[in-house]
Amino acid sequence: MSHVDSIPPAPDDELLPVVAVSSFENRSGFSGQWQLGNGMADLLVSELVGSRRFTVVEREHFQGLVNEIDRQKTPLFRNEGKTTVGRMKNAQFMIRGVVNDFSQTGGGGLSMAIRNFLFFGRGNNARVAITLTIVDIETGQIISSVNSTGLVRAREAYAEGEYKGISFGGDIFFKTPLGKATLVAIRHGVRQVVKDMPKNLWRPMVCGSREGFILLNGGTDRGFKQGAVYTVRAPAEPVTDPATGDVLTFVPGHLVGTLKVNRVDEKISYAQPVQGSGFDRGQWLVAPDALPTK
């Protein structure tokens, strides 16, 4: 199965959102040979990765990963090659899925196909309908709810097909009407998720300090230039509504000082203070004239 096509790559200044996918809830009434919940989730993960617009983290078998890291801490394992703790990515968004319809009309139902054969004639349709809900993990807020449907008319040449023994998500599955409808629904849903997912733009920031230099989070890959001067501010501060607690806007953080870039590598730059002190990881870099200095 090929991955999502016709989705343009993310702009260079856009950070890929980190997402996790939960097992789908099956509300279609289908209870045949396939476990739709896990199968649909696996297909969605494959398409999200193939779109090149997301960083997808493992959550379905997360406890197994944690157990393996814990086992590697014991003296039974050599130090070489041990997994470093504290390096797992945190998911920003959870995508929950629901299967609303997984059916075919005309020429007998899918239950008959599972017991024996599926006979198609003219007017036979396979229909798969899903809902994908994007949830902001930090706030619990629902960002978007996407409804997607795949509807495929069976060709007359598909006169007889045996679903029994066909694995969900395999090559043969995607040659069947239900497999084709599933792929249409998943891919249409991914395209809509790409549109609705909040955009997180890259910005120049302080990422640490080493041996008297302030390290910046980009180099030639991000357009840093030797000799460039940046004003450094603390991260933006949210302004909230005292009645509801909702974030109304963000205001620039306090002024920390000024840095001058002395050296530029491919992915990191080195700077030294020109004015101010207390430079620390996570502070923002802006052009000196972009914001008031007060």
- Which residue from 99, 97, 3, 130 is spatially nearest to 54, judged by alpha carbons? 3
Q: Say whether domain 203-286 belongs to CATH 2.40.10.410.
A: yes
Q: How far is CA 261 from the centre of its chain?
A: 33
Alpha-helical segments (H) within 17-90: 36-51, 62-72
Cβ neighbors of 269 (< 8 A, separation 6 or more) are 215, 216, 218, 219, 224, 261, 263
Say what the pLDDT of residue 72 is.
55
Say what the pLDDT of residue 271 is.
96
Say what the pLDDT of residue 147 is.
96
Place of tokens 């090149």: 52
The architecture of the domain spanning 14-196 is 3-Layer(aba) Sandwich (3.40)
Letter string b/e over residues 170-205, b meaning 16 or more CB atoms within 10 A of that residue's CB:
eeebbebbbbbbbbbbbbbbbbbbbeebeeeeeebb
Say what the pLDDT of residue 99 is.
96
Q: How far apart are CA 42 and CA 54, in angstroms?
A: 15
Say what the pLDDT of residue 117 is.
38
Q: How far apart are CA 124 and CA 104, in angstroms?
A: 7
In the chain, the amino acid numbered 64 is G
Record the pTM: 0.70
Say what the pLDDT of residue 59 is.
57
Mean pLDDT by 10 residues, the chain (294 residues): 66 86 89 86 93 81 48 59 52 90 67 41 76 85 92 58 74 87 95 92 90 93 92 86 78 90 95 94 76 39
Q: How far apart are CA 24 and CA 45, in angstroms?
A: 12
Say what the pLDDT of residue 46 is.
93
Say what the pLDDT of residue 121 is.
43
Say what the pLDDT of residue 58 is.
66
First to last CA, the chain: 57
Say what the pLDDT of residue 243 is.
85
Q: How far apart are CA 279 and CA 208, in angstroms?
A: 8
Q: Where are the domains of the chain?
A: 14-196, 203-286
Say what the pLDDT of residue 70 is.
57
